Amino acid sequence: MCEAKVFIEKEGKLEDFMENVVTIKPEGDKLLLVDLFGEQKFVDAEVKEIKLLEHQVILREKI
């Protein structure tokens, strides 16, 4: 499977944000995340790291 689990780094700690993410797309100054079932979330963050082998995306909260 090609889905990813997305985490957000806040104050140096990783928090679960969304699972089964298949699309991450910039929309203005935010990121649009879409999961396998079509659920959509916007987040005010930037990409910090993508771990393809672990199916993880780590976002950094914008300050």
User: What is the tens place of the pLDDT at every residue in 8-51?
Assistant: 999 889 999 999 999 999 999 999 999 999 999 999 999 999 99
- Residue 63: partners with Cβ closer than 8 Å, 6 or more residues away: none
Q: How far apart are CA 47 and CA 33, in angstroms?
A: 12
| pTM for this model (two decimals) | 0.92
Domain residue ranges in the chain: 4-61
Residue 63 pLDDT level (bands cut at 50, 70, 90):
confident
- Residue 5: partners with Cβ closer than 8 Å, 6 or more residues away: 16, 18, 19, 20, 21, 55, 56, 57
